[in-house]
Amino acid sequence: MIDSQDMQLSKLDDWLTNAASKGAIAIVAHKNGDMDTIGSAISLAASRPEAMACGVHICKLARRLLEKLDAPFLHLDAQSPRWPKKLAGIVVVDSAAEDQTGLELPRDVPRCIIDHHSTSDWSLEEGDIQLLWPVSATTQIIHQYLLKHKKNVLTSKVRRLLLAGLVADTGRFRHADASSFESASQILDDGIIDYADFIEEFEEDILTRSDNGAISKALSRSDGIDAGPWWLLKSSAGTQESVVCRALMSAGADVAICMRRREGISRLTARASRGAVLAGVHVGNILSTLARTHGGEGGGHDGAAGWSCSLDLMAVESAFIHALAGVEKK
């Protein structure tokens, strides 16, 4: 039987307290950290002096918010990470698998996995715990933990970080569910954050001029095909693949993919419309299956997922089309 969420939060609190009594705790964000993973790591790290948020690379938007809030974050080198001394616990936030952290985690340290992806490739050992909740953002889980166990940590700075993760992972609440709105309302309930102001700041210069150029080129290259019962729009771009996918979705795709190849690694980003998801498409499952069959790492959510591997782009594209075409419409 799976423990209730309250029970899981109590276990998390015990796990953190125990680790903190023995040494330092590293709170690891996934590589190329987005707002959700960075917001989760920093907010949770604020709950204890022994805890430190860390990770490999962070995205531009997250970096800007960190600078603005002057939030502490330890940048780790993927090849030779300098972990905090006397490491007694590793918490990994918002990652469905170890390789998503871009690090090789020391195995002799107890792990705590906190995530909201519907696929999980972690294998737990004695002393490890996992909180895997079906919510829109990992920051919602961290928020619930702080609310129940460390309420004084919920300062306006921490609330902004939690909200930023939630706003980003729900696509400005486009993919939100009841739990996302409940979290947002609880995060805002101290009345300190002016939401309209927050969003305006959040949206400021997200895209650079060169991003704009890359996106418009990607759109001009886009192509549509019938993959079984699904209308698929596809393109390639060296950057901002999720923005390209969003644009392709607006153009009426059931499923959109955008691919890129860099340093011998192909990456496919996939999105599915709500209608397609309700009719049976789960791009997270498709991509985790493809990663198992063809190698690399893949997975994510029903409507948004990614796959990185060493196959060439042509092979990646045809594997995806073949898999999608095999999904029957409910």
Please give the residue ranges that form the binding site for Mn ion (CB under 5 A): 36, 94, 138, 169
User: To 10 degrees, what angle do helices 35-45 and 60-69 make?
Assistant: 30
The nearer residue to Mn ion, 36 or 98, going by C-beta atoms, is 36
Q: Which residues contact 312 (CB under 8 A, 6 or more apart)?
A: 261, 266
Q: Which is nearer to Mn ion, 36 or 50 (CB)?
A: 36
Distance of closest approach, residue 36 Cβ to Mn ion, in angstroms: 3
* Min separation Cβ 115 and Mn ion, Å: 8
Dihedral class, residue 92 (left if φ above 0, else alpha if ψ from -120 to 50, else beta): beta
DSSP three-state, residue 194: coil
In angstroms, give the least distance from the CB of 317 to Mn ion: 26
For Mn ion, the closer CB: 169 or 297 = 169
- Counting every residue, how long is the chain? 330
Q: What one-letter code names the amino acid at 78?
A: A
Residue 100 beta carbon to Mn ion: minimum distance, rounded to whole angstroms: 11
Which residue, 169 or 254, is less far from Mn ion as judged by CB? 169
Q: Which amino acid is at 118?
A: S
Packing angle, helices 156-169 and 195-203, rounded to 10: 60
Of 305 and 323, CB closest to Mn ion: 305
Query: Strand 51-55 vs strand 74-75: parallel, antiparallel, or unpaired?
Result: parallel
Min dist CB 30 to Mn ion, Å, is 8
